[in-house]
Structure 1
Amino acid sequence: MTFEAYLLAALAVFLTGISKSGFAGGLGILGVPLVALTMPPQSAATLLLPVLLLIDIVSVWRFRASWKARTIMALLPGAGIGIGLGMIGFSSLDPNLLKIGIGLLALWFVVRQVFGDKTVAGTLGRLGAAKIFVASLVSGFAGFVAHAGGPPIKGTILSLGLGKSAFVGTNAMFFFILNLAKAGGYASLGLFSVSGLLSSAALVPFTLMGIWAGFALHDRVPQRLFVRMAFGLLALAGLNLLVFGGAGLLTGAV
């Protein structure tokens, strides 16, 4: 990994650490697009996966008393199928089209919150089994291919109206399980290497700094402001995916 690539990756994992540990994602979706400026997207995804697992492990421990097991169990079946489809399409799918699709989905969640009915579903039953399955399937597929699985799940869990710690904890546990499954899929495809894992290990200090900053912000932000920031980060993630995906299509990037 070149020095330029290392600096971009360090920035990516720092932002990801803040975002995932404090607000359950948003800025973290910048990770693969940033690192992909210096290497193929598949290589960027492989480099970042061990770092994402570290963030998940620390976040799950931090919010161990807050996550909602029933919500996670409802999300896992669709996510598992999505991961399987992601393994099939990992090498052949144009990630730029995927980014655009996920970006539009993220913005739809935000637009619905701002201009639509602002009441929350409150329960999984009111949210609907079909919506949960589709969101988790898209998340599993997009997460495997480009670590872009956050927006569908974030929008779904936000609509349940959970407290901020329950929201972050549930998101963290879900993605810990998802990323463990992804790691098995990456290993079966022969994507990991000793040099790659060493490069991931070199990013750990920046990851830990990001996690610490995320926890500190989480404890200081009031619930109402937290929800607004969460939707703001979701909008930022959607716009980021549209911009990077559209730019990739225009320049012929893969």
Structure 2
Amino acid sequence: MIDSFQVFALAALAVSFAGISKAGFGSGAAFASAALLALVMPPKVALGIMLPLLMLIDLVTLRPFWGKWSWPDAKVLIAGGIPGVVAGGWLFSVANDDVLRLLIGGVSVGFVAWQMWTGVTARRIVPLWGGLVAGCVAGFTSFVSHAGGPPAAVYLLSRGLGKTTYQATTVLVFWVINIAKFVPYAFLGAFSLQTLWVDLMLAPFALVGAAIGVKAHHAVPERAFFAVTYVLLTLTGAKLIFDALT
């Protein structure tokens, strides 16, 4: 599984990136970490390794953002996210990976293009029913590829939240969704003694990444924060579309 220094270095980089992204930049690109691990190990193993580490990042980032979230928006996304997790668990063994990559990538790139067309200062607010749909898609894609960030961002970025409120809301939502994913993952055989041992080795990198992300969040101006989020959504969305088509 981790059988060379090169593989360990790639895994450490991926986990650190997940920590920085989830803790500081809206988790829009954190799912790229699972994709990086999947380059050097089976995707199911990569997903099993990443989930406990993502849960650890969620736990340590709850405190600095505690109570700063938009509870009405979080409630809507969680209400949609739980059924999405159930659907993801049901379809996990038969889902077509390339279709999922194309869907997630299309949503990510399409959303950024839509925001550029309408203007960032003239965001169209997505209604609450749209939040339920976004939450369901986020729960589903989070289960099958840890890629729930873009669908949630489509809803949250349209609500005109400040950067800290936006970030705190994503932390809360995915803390709940990742907990909901744990038991189905265990039943589907995603965890083993080997994956847990790898998690122990990589946990320090997750914590360091999360600490960097929290500090970067408070240091980066609001306009730059959302610009970075849009860039990350575009890059990761384009990469998913490329992977699906090739």
Q: TM-score, normalised by structure 2?
A: 0.93
- 5+ residue gaps, structure 2, are none
The aligned counterpart of 1:245 is: 244
Cα 1:223–1:117 shift into 2, 3 Å: closer
SS at match of 1:91: coil
Return the alpha-carbon distance in structure 2 between the equivalents of residues 88 and 5 of structure 1. 31
Return the alpha-carbon distance in structure 1 between the equivalents of residues 96 and 35 of structure 2. 14
Return the alpha-carbon distance in structure 1 between the equivalents of residues 75 and 99 of structure 2. 29
CA contact (8 A) 1:30 1:240 kept: no
Return the alpha-carbon distance in structure 1 between the equivalents of residues 72 and 228 of structure 2. 25
Q: Deviations over 1:38-63 (max 9, x none)?
A: 11211111110011001111111110
The aligned counterpart of 1:95 is: 97
CA contact (8 A) 2:73 2:131 kept: no
Q: Which range is displaced more, 185-194 or 142-151?
A: 185-194
The aligned counterpart of 2:195 is: 196
Q: Deviations over 1:100-140 (max 9, x none)?
A: 1100001111001111254235xxxx522332122111111
SS at match of 1:107: helix
CA contact (8 A) 1:26 1:236 kept: no
One-letter code of the match for 1:170? Answer: T
**Percentage of matched positions with identical amino acids:** 37
- 5+ residue gaps, structure 1, are 248-254
Return the alpha-carbon distance in structure 2 between the equivalents of residues 243 and 212 of structure 1. 32
Q: Measure how far apart 1:243 and its partner are.
A: 2.3
One-letter code of the match for 2:123? Answer: V
The aligned counterpart of 1:158 is: 157
2:123 corresponds, among 113, 120, 123, to 120
Return the alpha-carbon distance in structure 1 between the equivalents of residues 84 and 141 of structure 2. 8
Q: Is 1:172–2:171 an aligned residue pair?
A: yes
The aligned counterpart of 1:145 is: 144
The aligned counterpart of 1:252 is: none
CA contact (8 A) 2:32 2:236 kept: yes
Return the alpha-carbon distance in structure 1 between the equivalents of residues 244 and 11 of structure 2. 19
CA contact (8 A) 2:115 2:123 kept: no
Q: Measure how far apart 1:203 and its partner are.
A: 0.5
Q: Measure how far apart 1:24 and its partner are.
A: 1.2
C-alpha RMSD over aligned residues = 1.5
1:1-254 pair list within 5 angstroms: 1=1, 2-3=3-4, 4-118=6-120, 119-121=122-124, 126-247=125-246
Q: Which range is displaced more, 175-184 or 185-194?
A: 185-194
Q: Deviations over 1:177-236 (max 9, x none)?
A: 000001121123232212211111110111112112112211111112111111111112
Q: TM-score, normalised by structure 1?
A: 0.91
Return the alpha-carbon distance in structure 2 between the equivalents of residues 44 and 105 of structure 1. 23
The aligned counterpart of 1:250 is: none
SS at match of 1:62: coil
Return the alpha-carbon distance in structure 2 between the equivalents of residues 71 and 150 of structure 1. 15
CA contact (8 A) 1:59 1:172 kept: yes
Return the alpha-carbon distance in structure 1 between the equivalents of residues 14 and 243 of structure 2. 15
